[in-house]
Structure 1
Amino acid sequence: MSPILICTGRNVLLPQHDVPVPATITVDILTGKITDIVPGYHTRDTYQQDHIHWVDAGDTTVLPGLVDAHVHLNEPGRTDWEGFHTGTKAATSGGVTTVVDMPLNSVPPTTTVEHLELKRTAAQGQCYSDVAFWGGVVPDNQVRSFRHYIQIVKGFTSMLQKHLKPLLSAGIKGFKCFLIESGVDEFPCVSKNDLELAMIELQNTSTVLLFHAELEVTNTSEATEATSSDPTLYSTFLQSRPQKLERDAVALITSLQEKYPVLRCHIVHLSASSALPIIRAAKSSGLNLTVETCFHYLCLSANEIPNGHPEFKCCPPVRESENQDLLWDALKKGLIDFVVSDHSPCVANLKKLDEGDIMSAWGGISTLGLGLSLLWTEGQKRGVTLAQIIKWTSSKTAEHAGLGHCKGKLQIGFDGDFVLWDPIAEFMVHSIVYIH
């Protein structure tokens, strides 16, 4: 008889309920799948079999494991920034049982099948959580032959590109691209023409194209409003990445979607509330567009960030509290679909902590494993329920990454990924440790 794990508790968050209820979950240990869920909190003597592994959650809340669909693990190549071992361990410490790794900042980036296999090999034997992978769209992995252009002109005839469809066949969950320089040389940004080539190729697939949605346009009025060149002032950095960059990028993406409406497009880490009207119009018109924001945009505000502290730098930037309120409103109304960490660590010298130089510091915030606690803390002030938070951090993120059939819910047939969580416990994050 196959060994089983049984978890019983008085507060189990099931997908058909808005609040936790007493329930008992059975997991087949060999397959890792949930085989049964019955109402009620049960005691050990209810089950007499010897092959049972028993978990009594008591009053602790039982949640589905979180799915963080935007994580930079950086291995191989920049494992000193973060790797599979440390990153997935941090994830599980905060209830994240699945992470989806971005195609950068590893060396090489995940832009070919060969590079994907290097990642998978590096991950072997190191992971505390499940790991899936995004692929990347960069200029170098587009076919640029004259014949290709002729085929496009003659009716957008599909031509198997060098790397995109092979990556899909190899199991990646979708593709990410940048509309502004990424910060690492090996992952350059794409042009509008690059995007058209990629969207033509991916149009008849079930994948998703992810956009770092900042579009740099020179001589914009907003970009020239900076009142200081002091690199230690947070305001200097904030004024260097105005909301207009995000608005222009979202406008470009939605205009391209009108030409290629079948392909789902996704805006990663939205920070600019001024882009919300464009998103609302796109969704209202039926475009297949999804949007994420991040824990730090919902829980930090520029008003509170001290000068000389590059640890708060990320791109796009944390903006003012009024902007934060509008992001929360959009999230609660479903205009923003879900929340991720965009965990993007680095080594200490790249953060310029001693100099306090925000402008030249690496742009990335490390929050992997803190998201559930952050959203619960801030969300309670805004009337948000636990069920809403799990929807934003588990079921919706699983669907986004093509894992909605097996992750993100405590449901029969799904993976038995569950978390024991105490909503009353408190802890203080004193600092994020950067390795020298």
Structure 2
Amino acid sequence: MAHERSTRSIRKRQVIRAARTWIDGAFFPATVVVEKGLIVDIVGVRDRVIGSTVLVPDDAVLLPGLVDSHVHVNEPGRTEWEGFRSATLAAAAGGVTTIVDMPLNSLPPTVTPEALMIKRDAAAPSAFIDVGFWGGAVPENLGSLRPLHEAGVYGFKCFLSPSGVDEFAHLDRAQLAAAMEEVADLGSRLIVHAEDPALLHDHAELGRGYDAFLASRPAESEASAIDAVIAEARRTGARAHILHLSDAGSLPAIRAAKASGVALTVETCPHYLTIVAEDIPDGASEFKCCPPIRGAANRDLLWAGIVDGTIDAIVSDHSPSTIDLKRSGGGDFGLAWGGIAGLQLGLSAVWTEARSRGIPLETLLPLFTTGPASVAGLTDVGRIAIGAPAHLAAFGLDDRYVIDAARLLHKNPITAYDRRELRGRVRRTWLHGKQVFDATDGGPGEAPRFRGSPRGRLLSAAAARPSRPAVVASAAG
């Protein structure tokens, strides 16, 4: 019987061989051995290992599954914008095996433990990859964040300017200070949409020209809000994170804060690294996002922040909506819904731009893997290592393709990347050792294939936290 069990175990073993495998910050020829969803061994690419074997072609690399810590899934409540099934399918096609979902624009927003449970119930039957959840810090729940923290959220998101939805109000400066104090006490993190409303010039109608929209959300607004976040993080000792950095002029303040010991991280997004204001046509409201896409000189400085390590993560800020909302007002940038749909395309889009600048893939990969994992406090994903979940992706470095929004797996066929030619494409994705996506199945023009039913896991930060010691009453007392 023991021999039979051993034979069955060998048959279930997954063996993935690649001439270039991303391990500990470099590429090595390696064989990754997987059992029961975990990486159990990493050996030489020619070492003999018995099991079901996959050979990654020499023109591709084997990567850890990517991590995207900034995704708006919108289910429940606004599932017509995006839902867990469509979002996680798109993520898998982009090599992403772990996302952390934002607390808005779902209904209800994730600002109470009850709302978190509703969201988890929505995600459970539909997720093709692993999903964690952010909580929200809004004026109504300040002072009461602990129950949501203990329910397993990875931290708390707040806005310093209006969020765009009435049910998720922004914090003023006094409320920001209170939130930082509470988050510091919990040992959690505050992730901040940093724009100063006093410096915004929003109008209901701005017209079809992008320049008016860009002028309505100046870089000074980001800089002012980021300065406020840094000051409160320094005062309280809280961990703080700057979301979707658009203004490269804020990088010196962020560098200085980090150097002085402030517990600060910062992310940017593929659209800020690959698109420039000068190229956005009139009426093309699919390019609207907040903070906005800025000019070419600003983009160059953001890339400098990538190369020098100031920026910790590149994440999608996937914030989709229906076509009607994106085209509201006939392309009026003041009336259209803001948000870029790009969950499926992040690595390909950024790699296309990076290679044109002579920046190697090795520079990018930490920002798509361990960087966002660290931002969220996820300790066991974004790496190929013994004991880690077998989340993997095969990436064809030179694959060329032209984006057709109608063929993307996002729910709504509208994206700022439509008709762009990209280099580099995810060919296969594995989750817990099981192949969930294969772009190589079928012929040219056929839809990519997904294997099996949704098997993503719902993640909880509470599971990774040490339990509190029990308080034992004194017999004398």
**TM norm. shorter chain > 0.5:** yes
Q: For 1:130 and 1:302, locate their aligned partners in 2 and report how far apart those are by CA, in whole Å.
A: 34
Gap regions ≥5 residues in structure 1: 144-161
1:38 aligns with 2:19: no
Q: Secondary structure at the match of 2:40?
A: strand
1:419 aligns with 2:419: no
Residue number in structure 2 paired with 1:7: 16
Superposition map of 1:140-155 within 5 A: 140-143=140-143
1:129 aligns with 2:129: yes
Superposition map of 1:228-267 within 5 A: 230-261=206-237, 263-267=238-242
Contact 1:311 1:353 in 2 (8 A): no
Residue number in structure 1 paired with 2:367: 392
Q: For 2:367 and 2:136, locate their aligned partners in 1 and report how far apart those are by CA, in whole Å.
A: 24
* TM-aligned CA deviation for residue 280 of structure 1: 2.1
Superposition map of 1:311-330 within 5 A: 311-330=286-305
Q: Secondary structure at the match of 2:344?
A: coil
Residue number in structure 2 paired with 1:55: 54
Contact 2:61 2:395 in 1 (8 A): yes
1:178 to 156, 159, 163: 159
* TM-aligned CA deviation for residue 422 of structure 1: 0.6
Q: For 1:407 and 1:382, locate their aligned partners in 2 and report how far apart those are by CA, in whole Å.
A: 29
Cα–Cα, structure 1 residues 376 and 124, in superposed 2: closer, same or farther, change >3 Å? same
Residue number in structure 2 paired with 1:300: 275
Superposition map of 1:44-123 within 5 A: 46-48=48-50, 52-59=51-58, 60-123=60-123
Residue number in structure 2 paired with 1:278: 253
Cα–Cα, structure 1 residues 38 and 16, in superposed 2: closer, same or farther, change >3 Å? farther
Instruction: Select between 318-327 and 354-363 the one with higher mean Cα deviation.
Output: 354-363
Residue number in structure 2 paired with 1:26: 33
Q: For 1:264 and 1:195, locate their aligned partners in 2 and report how far apart those are by CA, in whole Å.
A: 13
Q: Determine what percentage of the aligned residue pairs are the same residue.
A: 44
Q: Secondary structure at the match of 2:232?
A: helix
* TM-aligned CA deviation for residue 81 of structure 1: 0.1
Q: For 1:53 and 1:118, locate their aligned partners in 2 and report how far apart those are by CA, in whole Å.
A: 39
Q: Secondary structure at the match of 1:423?
A: strand
Q: For 1:16 and 1:175, locate their aligned partners in 2 and report how far apart those are by CA, in whole Å.
A: 30
Contact 2:329 2:335 in 1 (8 A): no
Gap regions ≥5 residues in structure 2: 1-5, 415-477
* TM-aligned CA deviation for residue 402 of structure 1: 1.2
1:348 aligns with 2:339: no
* TM-aligned CA deviation for residue 165 of structure 1: 1.5
Q: For 1:100 and 1:258, locate their aligned partners in 2 and report how far apart those are by CA, in whole Å.
A: 26
Kindly provide the amino acid, as one letter, of the partner of residue 383 in structure 2: K
1:72-129 C-alpha deviation (Å, 9 max, x unpaired): 0000000000000000000000101111100000000111111001011001121111
Contact 1:309 1:353 in 2 (8 A): no
Kindly provide the amino acid, as one letter, of the partner of residue 42 in structure 2: I
* TM-aligned CA deviation for residue 203 of structure 1: 1.4
Q: For 1:207 and 1:53, locate their aligned partners in 2 and report how far apart those are by CA, in whole Å.
A: 42
Cα–Cα, structure 1 residues 195 and 230, in superposed 2: closer, same or farther, change >3 Å? closer
Residue number in structure 2 paired with 1:199: 180
Q: For 2:249 and 2:112, locate their aligned partners in 1 and report how far apart those are by CA, in whole Å.
A: 35
Residue number in structure 2 paired with 1:188: 169
Q: For 1:353 and 1:114, locate their aligned partners in 2 and report how far apart those are by CA, in whole Å.
A: 33
Contact 2:246 2:268 in 1 (8 A): yes
* TM-aligned CA deviation for residue 53 of structure 1: 2.8
* TM-aligned CA deviation for residue 430 of structure 1: 3.2
* TM-aligned CA deviation for residue 383 of structure 1: 2.3
* TM-aligned CA deviation for residue 427 of structure 1: 0.5
Contact 1:346 1:362 in 2 (8 A): yes
* TM-aligned CA deviation for residue 41 of structure 1: 3.7
Q: For 1:250 and 1:58, locate their aligned partners in 2 and report how far apart those are by CA, in whole Å.
A: 45
* TM-aligned CA deviation for residue 354 of structure 1: 7.3
1:431 to 405, 416, 438: 405
Superposition map of 1:159-174 within 5 A: 162=144, 164-174=145-155
Contact 2:244 2:291 in 1 (8 A): yes
Q: For 1:176 and 1:424, locate their aligned partners in 2 and report how far apart those are by CA, in whole Å.
A: 37
* TM-aligned CA deviation for residue 16 of structure 1: 4.5
Kindly provide the amino acid, as one letter, of the partner of residue 427 in structure 1: Y
Q: For 1:342 and 1:275, locate their aligned partners in 2 and report how far apart those are by CA, in whole Å.
A: 19
* TM-aligned CA deviation for residue 435 of structure 1: 6.1
Residue number in structure 2 paired with 1:151: none
Cα–Cα, structure 1 residues 363 and 332, in superposed 2: closer, same or farther, change >3 Å? same
* TM-aligned CA deviation for residue 353 of structure 1: 6.0
Residue number in structure 1 paired with 2:192: 211
Cα–Cα, structure 1 residues 167 and 53, in superposed 2: closer, same or farther, change >3 Å? farther
Residue number in structure 2 paired with 1:155: none
1:156-200 C-alpha deviation (Å, 9 max, x unpaired): xxxxxx2x1122211111110000000011100011222222222
Q: Which runs of 4+ in 1 moved over 4 A?
A: none
Contact 1:10 1:41 in 2 (8 A): no
* TM-aligned CA deviation for residue 284 of structure 1: 2.1
Q: Secondary structure at the match of 1:422?
A: strand
Contact 2:258 2:264 in 1 (8 A): yes
Q: For 1:172 and 1:209, locate their aligned partners in 2 and report how far apart those are by CA, in whole Å.
A: 11
Residue number in structure 2 paired with 1:334: 309
Kindly provide the amino acid, as one letter, of the partner of residue 92 in structure 2: T
Q: For 2:255 and 2:361, locate their aligned partners in 1 and report how far apart those are by CA, in whole Å.
A: 25
Instruction: Select between 339-348 and 166-175 the one with higher mean Cα deviation.
Output: 166-175
Q: For 1:16 and 1:142, locate their aligned partners in 2 and report how far apart those are by CA, in whole Å.
A: 40
Q: For 1:68 and 1:28, locate their aligned partners in 2 and report how far apart those are by CA, in whole Å.
A: 25
Q: Secondary structure at the match of 2:186?
A: coil
Kindly provide the amino acid, as one letter, of the partner of residue 123 in structure 1: A
Contact 2:329 2:336 in 1 (8 A): no
1:184-234 C-alpha deviation (Å, 9 max, x unpaired): 11100011222222222221333210000001115x8xx59x9xx751000
- Residue-pair matches, total: 399
CA root-mean-square deviation:
1.8
